[in-house]
Structure 1
Amino acid sequence: MGRLGLSERVDPSDPRDWRGILDRGNPENPVAKWTQVYAAYCTGDAYLGNRDVTYKTADGREVAVRHRGRANVESVLNWIYENVKKPERIVVAGSSAGAIGTPIYAAEVSDHYPDVEITAVADGAGGYRSPKIVDAIRNWGFWDDAPEWAAGIDRESATFEDLGRAAVRRAPHLRVVELDTAYDAAQERFLKAFGTPSRLYPLLLQNRAEQAKGLSGFAGFTSRGKEHTQLLFDRFYTNEEEGVRVLDWFRDVEEGRKVQSVTCDEPESCEKEPE
């Protein structure tokens, strides 16, 4: 997700420039030798869009946006299905806007590889709670050609988590975990745009509790501070809570071991930046 503005082009997002799990030269990277496929983000719809929409900017100008997030992801998945025939394990990971669609597309991947252990890792989108999310999902065109698993979702109250949980119900062996920072500045900025006055951490705790009830094997890792996302930065290797590094927690996840939720705990300690 990004702030709506006017631009002739979008700066390229080259995964070779990222760090974290995409840093294939880091000997600590647990997925450095994996086949890695990157789906670029460019249509402002959390990878869920399927509609052309004309928006008005703050100064009254009109901007047409072709929300094609779903088509973009499906083209990537089709390439994977054609070129990766027998994977041993799969991790579907998404950061920021990508985190929102991660469980949805992980469930689709599980349809294609029903006998493969698959984990969805959603990074940096766990605290969104607002009635306006309903409008965003609708405006992006998610319901225009909604998949069958979405039939039971109330379109007038749907949340991002509702979509993810509904998708995962048809993939009982799929595990979902989440990474967040307690006071992620980007999530708080979007919450403000949604008209939600609350700080992020209390909303994150509410969402995590609901996820734990609705998803078998769910766990979350909440780091202190306000940085946005962890998987694609060096802080993936250094952030630590309760004596557990994000790196080691992620390694356990991708190797199929059961993990417990880890948190920075009280709001006061969670506001402090990592040392």
Structure 2
Amino acid sequence: MQRWLTALVVVIGFALAQAPAGWQEIRPGGAAVCSDGSPWRFYVAPGAADKVIVNFQGGGACWDAATCNPQSRLYTTRLQLQDLQAGQGIFNRNNPENPFRDWTHVFVPYCTADLHWGNNTARYGDLTIQHKGAVNARQAVLWVFNNIPNPQNILVTGCSAGGYGSIMWAPYFMRRYPNAQVTQLGDAALGVAPASFFPVASRAWGIQSALPGWIGGLEPAQLGSNDLYQIFARAYPNRSFAQYSTLADEVQIFFYSLIVGQPRPTPEIAQQWVQGALANLASIKQAAPNFYSYLAPGTQHCIIGRPEFYSTRVGDVRFVDWLSRLVSNGRPGDVAPPR
């Protein structure tokens, strides 16, 4: 019990929003706000003009009165920048092993409880939540469009809730930059949920404005991330889509437990999640040969902002090397531990 709770606190944390040296703060103002109505900002670490990371932050989610109750601590309510402050993994721009150390890095904070998908002011009893993740994300996307005219490589990624943000917003970059190598990587965002959850979340968050309207087959109340991967990967067969996760991710299992109505995970719930995760990956791969996955053993949640970004190895394949191949040629193969 304590292990999954510790993992959840790491993801949801409430660190003071102060970026370290090397990061420029961009204040879009206007409708760009956190869930409590406080101002939202995003951050840029300048680097190569032709290589860009767009990195969506994680931090929980909520979709009804119980989960959105601030006492639940299931989501971030205000800007928090512990990823930048820790400077680990993909954020470590001094590590010579970091293949992205000299790229321009656009960091999209998350404090709207809607997977970066929302555009809704929701009322849950006496509580008002600004699910404005899509409004905020669009500001960072437009900054890239306006300031990076001719990139050669773009990695659109994110941890946890940010992983879902990365799949929703990746097609915008693929359409805008037809000649660039645009790669999407979802980190610890396997989208295991019953079909009944999608209409609830869609209504709560108001995801319509986030959907790339030029791609057909997008019905908000019927879409999970599994569907988005299949639809987007088919729409862009020459681009690469990917997911990373551990096989027993404690935080993903915890949120799955909440979604199916169990306040705490049980061994049966955990097994359901594992089966659902493997089924999701298999169905995406069957529909989209340009989709790749890296599965590691264990229970850890997220990798891109952790020291394990460099040390994780499955067989003879290090994750950092696998990701380097993904962004360079788009065909790294699938990696999974023996079962």
**What's the TM-score bracket when you normalise by the shorter of the two chains?**
0.7 to 0.9
Give the aligned partner of residue 78 of structure 1: 142
CA deviations on 1:117-164 (whole Å, 9 max, x unpaired) are: 111011001151322133112321013675424652455543222133
2:249 & 2:68 partners in 1: Cα distance? 20
Shift of 1:88: 1.5
Letter in 2 for 1:68: K
1:89 to 136, 153, 156: 153
2:194 to 130, 140, 151: 130
Give the aligned partner of residue 13 of structure 1: 81
Give the aligned partner of residue 235 of structure 2: 170
Give the aligned partner of residue 279 of structure 2: 206
2:210 & 2:112 partners in 1: Cα distance? 17
1:265 & 1:127 partners in 2: Cα distance? 23
Give the aligned partner of residue 103 of structure 2: 34
CA deviations on 1:95-117 (whole Å, 9 max, x unpaired) are: 10011131221111111111111
CA deviations on 1:35-76 (whole Å, 9 max, x unpaired) are: 1111001100001001111225xxxxx321111111111100
1:239 & 1:91 partners in 2: Cα distance? 20
What percent of counterpart residues are identical? 25
Unaligned runs of 5+ in 1: 57-61, 267-275
Shift of 1:22: 1.0
Unaligned runs of 5+ in 2: 1-59, 62-66, 262-268
Shift of 1:210: 0.9
Give the aligned partner of residue 263 of structure 1: 336
How many pairs were matched up? 261
The root-mean-square deviation of aligned C-alpha atoms, in Å, is: 2.2
2:123 to 51, 54, 70: 54
TM-score by length of structure 2 reads 0.71
Give the aligned partner of residue 19 of structure 2: none
- What SS does structure 1 have at the residue aligned with 2:117? coil
CA deviations on 1:165-224 (whole Å, 9 max, x unpaired) are: 323433332210110011111100100001173533211110100110222321100111
Give the aligned partner of residue 22 of structure 1: 91
1:171 & 1:89 partners in 2: Cα distance? 16
Letter in 1 for 2:80: P
Give the aligned partner of residue 170 of structure 2: 106
1:236 to 309, 312, 323: 309
CA deviations on 1:229-271 (whole Å, 9 max, x unpaired) are: 11110011111112211111111112225111111232xxxxx
Letter in 2 for 1:138: R
TM-score by length of structure 1 reads 0.87
